[in-house]
Amino acid sequence: MMEEQSASYTVDDALMSSGFGKFQILILSYAGIGLIAEAMEMMLLSFVGPSVQLEWKLTSHQESMITSVVFVGMLIGAYSWGVVSDNYGRRRGFLFTAIVTSGAGFLSSFAPNYLSLISLRFLVGIGLGGGPVLGSWFLEFVPAPSRGTWMVVFSAFWTVGTIFEASLAWMVMPKFGWRWLLALSSIPSFLLLLFYAITPESPRFLCMKGRTDEAVDVLEKMARLNNVPLPSGRLVSEKNIELDEVSGSSESTTLLTGAEESDSIDKDEGSDFGGFKSVGKLLAPKMIRATLLLWMAFFGNAFAYYGIVLLTSELSNGNRICAKEEVESVHSNNASLYKNVFISSFAEIPGSLLSAMVVDRYGRRLSMASMLFTSCVFLFPLVFSRAEILTTISLFGARLCIAASFTIVYIYAPEIYPTSVRTTGIGIASSVGRIGGILCPLVAVALVHSCHQTTAIVLFEIVVFLSGLAVSFFPFETKGCRLNDTEVDMSMS
């Protein structure tokens, strides 16, 4: 038995022996560019809508649709690209997303009318929906002990993108207008296409598909670049290892290795074009509890995150309007808008640092729940008073905590699913989050505009609190565990 074990190794063994070296830094850089691209395309919605409304004399409903269609596209894209990635490879998944995002993003700067702009921004949303594919791809190259910390570092690229977009808008919009901002914001997506040829496929995906020779090639390149040797023996997929060969492991054992061998995922069973088999696995008795709780967490995090971003400006404007004071045009002081968004974006820097400090020390569940409940504490004073300084401090603190929670949920989501449905699982969860992003401006911001600010704050409190409860009931902790290649029973804690 011992001789057989020494004659083989798994992808996780190779990652552990390799550590986090130059190869992973290159993977992180490429995936990070993708996250920057997504953040920039999302943040520019804060600037383009008001400018287009003025230029084309749009109604407020038409202006809001410029934002809403992007979320609708992301909802569709998150599911679609997840299915493509799980069936045809991570590389093919993010190739298509980069093509769609860069092409539609650049062309939207030449949109001659409202309908063409809406259509192109919808396509941009479909492309942006593939963002989780890059996250899953990067995750599958990171050794288990440091996975949480490095996923936080990866998530920090989102903050870089938001700050960079606010800076770009501040410089470009006053002189050149919204079309230049749209064109320049598509550049990071083009960079993904430029360097696509040198990106490797995930060796974990290749093993899952039985393509072990290709997986070995990738791991050998990793070992050479990191200047370390691979473990001796032949590469095997973890799903083919007998249960008694891994049952003795402790902290680094496969996630939930209590599953029976009959639960293991079959080797490539053919294409799943509509993703129905994958969705069926996510909602099977073994996984349904974790899946539904994860959906609640994604919905609450997205609803709160985008809502807090919007409330940063909406609450102060709403207070003045409802007090029937003299109010200058919302669009008359664009420089102030860019400045406020730029400053508020910095709340995510301490949020990223905080999540990096706690995610591998205290675990995913405790860290997420703590951030969500703390966000409730920050928002609570706004139920009774919305003085300017109190509003600024409360929303800054709430955004800090929600940013940290959102970072951790994107770490936890791909860790709980087996390789064959990992990107589909996180893609669908991300789609549910997009529903929160769609509903947030339609519900919460509408309440502020109709002078029901207290009701809006209470609504946020309820959603965030319920999300914290959902996280508290997650069936298991994934800190320090290897990624799982087999279906396991996630219905029991």
d(CA 401, CA 352): 9
Model confidence at 258: pLDDT above 90? no
d(CA 313, CA 323): 16
Model confidence at 2: pLDDT above 50? no
- For range 209-236, the mean pLDDT: 86
Long-range contacts of 23-28 (CB under 8 A, 24+ apart): 23/141, 23/221, 23/222, 23/225, 23/226, 24/141, 24/142, 24/150, 24/222, 24/226, 26/225, 27/137, 27/138, 27/141, 27/199, 27/200, 28/138, 28/150, 28/153, 28/154
- So what's the pLDDT on residue 340? 59
Whether the Cβ atoms of residue 486 and residue 261 lie closer than 8 Å to each other: no
- So what's the pLDDT on residue 27? 92
H helical segments located in 323-452: 334-345, 348-362, 364-379, 388-416, 422-440, 446-449
d(CA 132, CA 136): 6
Sign of CA pseudo-dihedral 67, 68, 72, 75: positive
Q: What is the per-residue pLDDT across 312-334, written as a single tens digit (0 to 9) for each?
A: 656 555 454 555 443 444 444 45
Sign of CA pseudo-dihedral 135, 95, 70, 167: positive
| pLDDT tier at 339, thresholds 50, 70, 90 | low
Whether the Cβ atoms of residue 19 and residue 188 lie closer than 8 Å to each other: no
Report the share of the chain in percent with pLDDT over 90: 17
Q: Which of 58-62, 174-178, 388-392, 444-448 has the highest mean pLDDT?
A: 174-178
Report the share of the chain in percent with pLDDT over 70: 78
Between 92-101, 416-425, 478-487, the lowest mean confidence (pLDDT) is in 478-487
Q: Which of 99-113, 128-142, 345-359 has the highest mean pLDDT?
A: 99-113
d(CA 208, CA 214): 12
Beta-sheet strands, E only, within 154-267? 234-235
Q: What is the DSSP letter of 422?
A: H
Q: What is the per-residue pLDDT across 241-253, written as a single tens digit (0 to 9) for each?
A: 433 333 333 333 3
b/e burial code for range 196-208 (CB count within 10 A of at least 16 → b): eeebbbbbbbbbb
Q: Work out the angle between the directed axes of helices 22-43 and 90-107 (0-180°, nearest 10).
A: 40
Q: What is the per-residue pLDDT across 121-151, written as a single tens digit (0 to 9) for each?
A: 999 999 988 887 888 888 888 887 777 778 7
- So what's the pLDDT on residue 79? 75
| pLDDT tier at 254, thresholds 50, 70, 90 | very low
Dihedral angle, C-alpha 413, 415, 417, 423, nearest 10 °: 60
Q: Looking at per-residue confidence, does 300 or 284 come out higher? A: 300
Q: Looking at per-residue confidence, does 167 or 274 come out higher? A: 167
Q: What is the per-residue pLDDT across 447-488, written as a single tens digit (0 to 9) for each?
A: 766 777 788 888 889 999 999 999 999 887 777 776 665 555
Q: Looking at per-residue confidence, does 50 or 96 come out higher? A: 96
- For range 401-410, the mean pLDDT: 87
pTM of the model: 0.72
Sign of CA pseudo-dihedral 467, 436, 356, 372: negative
User: Closest Cα to residue 52, out of 165, 181, 167?
Assistant: 181
Q: Looking at per-residue confidence, does 89 or 467 come out higher? A: 467
The H or E element containing residue 18 is: helix 11-18
Q: Please provide the DSSP assignment of 260-318 as one string.
A: -GGGSPPS-----TTSHHHHHHHTSTTTHHHHHHHHHHHHHHHHHHHHHHHHHHHHHHH
CA angle in degrees (0–180, nearest 5) for 44-45-51: 95
d(CA 228, CA 222): 9
- So what's the pLDDT on residue 437? 78
Q: Mean pLDDT score of the chain, rounded to an integer?
A: 78
CA angle in degrees (0–180, nearest 5) for 372-317-167: 70
d(CA 293, CA 175): 47
Q: Looking at per-residue confidence, does 150 or 183 come out higher? A: 183
| pLDDT tier at 76, thresholds 50, 70, 90 | confident
Q: Work out the angle between the directed axes of helices 131-139 and 147-176 (0-180°, nearest 10).
A: 150
- For range 366-377, the mean pLDDT: 92
Model confidence at 490: pLDDT above 60? no
| pLDDT tier at 207, thresholds 50, 70, 90 | confident
